Amino acid sequence: ICIKINAQIFINQTGYKNDLQKIFYTNISATNFEVVESETGNTFYNGNLQLISSNDPATGMAIRKGDFTSLNRNGNYFIRLNSSDTSYHFTIGENVIEDLYLKSLKSFYFQRCGTQLLYTHAGQYQRNICHTGDAFFHSSTGQSGFKYSRGGWHDAGDYGKYIVNAGISAATLLMAYEYFPSYFSYDNLNIPESGNGIPDILDEVKYEVQWFLTMQDTSGAVFFKLTKEQFEPFVMPSQDSGMRYIYEKSSAATADFIAVLARFYRVYKNYDSTFANTCLTSAINAWNWLSNQLTIVPAGGFHNPPGTYTGEYGDNNDSDERLWAAAELFEATGDQSFKEYYEFNYNASGLFNSTMNWQNVKSLAHITYLYSNRQNSDPIIKTQLAASLDSYCNSLLTKVNANGFGVTLNPGDYYWGSNSQVLNNGVLLLLSYSKNNNINFLNAALEQLNYVTGSNAHNLSFITGTGKKSPLHPHHRPSEADGISEPIPGLIVGGPNQYLNDPVLQQHFNQNTPPALCYIDDVGSYASNEIAINWNAPLVFVSGYFSNLLIN
């Protein structure tokens, strides 16, 4: 049958898992909806639409919501309203989220630096080795000469490598594995290490961790970043010539390094104790340096020296990073000194009152302590943490209820990388759910995933190569330069950015544009359409969780 695709029914384009909640939204004025089987045209579900908002503050739309959770018959369907408006076709099934999960994880392989991507693993996205000259000390370090620092992941749409942002990215992947090992043990992703008996998610993180080790100085300190002085032209990585530099030592980078290496040690020691021990030793050396720095290094936080314009990941407060480092080392070693550092400082700026991001990792510290398996962890603190996480998640539900699309963002929250905020909120909701079984948290987390896969005002899956309609022009140098029309799959773009931090956004929108609409699939819009490892990591967490979730 011939279907008219109407852009006004907003569904999760990657499909609905049969045993989970099923929600869509529409801005069409209607009172009820049908779920129609694609092949037969038979209606399998009739439901009422619920008016969520006649003027949703985030989108300016009148939004209605449809819920067909109880339809759990596997098949292909579309939604129909007013007997003629129809949605994209979608699937209800058992394994509908797996493709998204595997693509989002594989995207880290496509970000690898300093290695050739072979046809067997990368298919048409094969490419030559890049950045073999990594790297020379920048004069701002006060050092000169070369330090071997090949490998790791390109940070985002650019080819730089930044410890701080890599830190939260690697840690989020490790956290998924550490807390839900059976959900994240896939070893068949077709990366070079697949089939080696070690989960691919750990193999992929190890690729990054090996680069981390090269960024450490003999003092124990860790250098902030490895980039060019200017962002690269839109060429393939192997064509990107010119000097790449290692920049100053940083206490925030050192603390994030410690957290990742301590965490990696914990999950990797059962696979390769020698390498895991190297990681722990490096983390402790780093801590020894860090604990001798009484204030943030460099003073005021890292800033680009004159003549350098690549990313800054600016942060003038390293107390959350230090807290996180201590929590991870405590969990790795059980040592009293790390326990005391965490317990003395854990409430300095409150418990769970913010969602983690590259700049603020406090919640990651708290999660680690809350999930501690150490006998000497304090049960009273853990009870406080669990209650605080629960109440923070309730505040996220308040945001969900105030948003026409059930997303944990309200006007003001749509800043650069908003999609990652949505997914990191999803991570917190899932972690709280795993402690208290509050089904509202599980459902809210699923709504966050649905939002990025198409239940949004753009009727767009924000992840390349997924769903019916997804970004074709991400700000991602390899995707643009490779001569292949489809971008590299599995990459989530930053998403709506009401602060219009690039000229393309400024050209198309203004401060009267509803916040959630400030997004454009344009390669020039680096502030809404770039991709980044720290945005992909919580996507792996949330999609992997739901893909493998066993409902009892």
Instruction: Enumerate binding residues for ligand 9MR (CB under 6 A).
Output: 155-156, 158, 160, 311-313, 416-417, 526, 530, 532
Residues in Cβ contact with 542 at an 8 Å cutoff, skipping those fewer than 6 apart: 423, 426, 427, 430, 445, 448, 449
Cβ 155 to ligand 9MR shortest distance, Å: 5
The alpha carbon dihedral of 320, 375, 537, 551 has a sign of: negative
Nearer to ligand 9MR, 212 or 289 (CB): 212
The yes-or-no answer on residue 158 being catalytic is: yes
The yes-or-no answer on residue 204 being catalytic is: no
302 binds, among Zn ion, ligand 9MR, none (CB under 5 to 8 A by kind): none
Cβ 224 to ligand 9MR shortest distance, Å: 12
Binder of Zn ion out of 100, 130, 297, 442 (CB under 5 A): 130
Q: Which two tokens stand for residue 343?
A: 């317990």
Give CB contacts under 8 A, 24+ apart, made by 290-296: 290/220, 290/221, 290/251, 290/254, 290/255, 290/258, 290/322, 290/325, 293/251, 296/251, 296/252
Measured CA angle at 455 (ends 449, 460), to 5 deg: 100
Quickly list DSSP for 277-290.
HHHHHHHHHHHHHH
247 binds, among Zn ion, ligand 9MR, none (CB under 5 to 8 A by kind): none
Nearer to Zn ion, 237 or 496 (CB): 237
301 binds, among ligand 9MR, Zn ion, none (CB under 5 to 8 A by kind): none
The alpha helices in 453-548, defined as continuous H runs, are 477-481, 503-508, 526-529, 533-548
Site stretch for Zn ion (CB under 5 A), options 177-185, 232-240, 349-357, 407-415: 232-240
Among residues 34, 99, 134, 158, which one is catalytic? 158
The yes or no reply on residue 326 touching Zn ion (CB under 5 A) is no
Nearer to ligand 9MR, 160 or 454 (CB): 160
Q: Which two tokens stand for residue 108?
A: 């880290």
Rounded Cα–Cα distance for residues 298 and 374 (Å):
34
Nearer to Zn ion, 244 or 362 (CB): 244
Q: What is the radius of gyration, based on Cα positions, of the chain?
A: 23
Nearer to Zn ion, 152 or 220 (CB): 152
Asked if 52 and 41 touch (Cβ cutoff 8 Å), the reply is no
Rounded Cα–Cα distance for residues 160 and 539 (Å):
21
416 binds, among ligand 9MR, Zn ion, none (CB under 5 to 8 A by kind): ligand 9MR
For residue 5, give the 3-state DSSP assignment.
strand
Rounded Cα–Cα distance for residues 325 and 199 (Å):
25
Cβ 131 to Zn ion shortest distance, Å: 3
Among residues 67, 229, 343, 521, which one is catalytic? 521
- DSSP letter assigned to residue 469: S
226 binds, among Zn ion, ligand 9MR, none (CB under 5 to 8 A by kind): none
Cβ 251 to Zn ion shortest distance, Å: 27
Binder of Zn ion out of 64, 127, 131, 339 (CB under 5 A): 131
Cβ 450 to ligand 9MR shortest distance, Å: 23
Give CB contacts under 8 A, 24+ apart, made by 430-438: 430/541, 430/542, 430/545, 431/179, 431/367, 431/370, 431/371, 431/389, 432/386, 432/389, 432/390, 432/392, 432/393, 434/179, 434/180, 435/370, 435/386, 435/389, 435/390, 436/386, 436/390, 438/390, 438/393
Q: Which residue, chain included where needed, has tokens 């309203």?
A: 81
Buried b (16+ CB within 10 A) or exposed e, 505-536: beebbeeebbbbbbbbbbbebbbbbbbbbbbb
The yes-or-no answer on residue 138 being catalytic is: no
Among residues 208, 475, 502, 522, which one is catalytic? 475
* Closest C-alpha to 53, from 404, 350, 333: 404
Cβ 118 to ligand 9MR shortest distance, Å: 26
417 binds, among ligand 9MR, Zn ion, none (CB under 5 to 8 A by kind): ligand 9MR
Nearer to Zn ion, 228 or 339 (CB): 228
Binder of Zn ion out of 237, 417, 489, 490 (CB under 5 A): 237
Cβ 57 to Zn ion shortest distance, Å: 42
Cβ 201 to Zn ion shortest distance, Å: 21
Rounded Cα–Cα distance for residues 172 and 51 (Å):
36
For residue 63, give the 3-state DSSP assignment.
strand
* Minimal CB distance residue for ligand 9MR: 311
Nearer to Zn ion, 66 or 237 (CB): 237
* Closest C-alpha to 96, from 447, 536, 453: 453
Distances (CA, A) of 247 to 44, 106, 170, 257, 504: 60, 29, 21, 15, 30
* Minimal CB distance residue for Zn ion: 113
Asked if 67 and 499 touch (Cβ cutoff 8 Å), the reply is no
131 binds, among Zn ion, ligand 9MR, none (CB under 5 to 8 A by kind): Zn ion
Nearer to ligand 9MR, 127 or 225 (CB): 225
Cβ 113 to ligand 9MR shortest distance, Å: 13
Nearer to ligand 9MR, 56 or 530 (CB): 530
11 binds, among Zn ion, ligand 9MR, none (CB under 5 to 8 A by kind): none
Cross-strand bridge partners of residue 127: 117
The yes-or-no answer on residue 475 being catalytic is: yes
471 binds, among ligand 9MR, Zn ion, none (CB under 5 to 8 A by kind): none
156 binds, among ligand 9MR, Zn ion, none (CB under 5 to 8 A by kind): ligand 9MR
Cβ 243 to ligand 9MR shortest distance, Å: 18
Q: Which residue, chain included where needed, has tokens 């302590």?
A: 369
Asked if 451 and 405 touch (Cβ cutoff 8 Å), the reply is yes
Rounded Cα–Cα distance for residues 131 and 148 (Å):
11
Nearer to Zn ion, 113 or 174 (CB): 113
What are the catalytic residues? 158, 475, 521, 530
Residues near Zn ion (CB under 5 A): 113, 130-131, 237
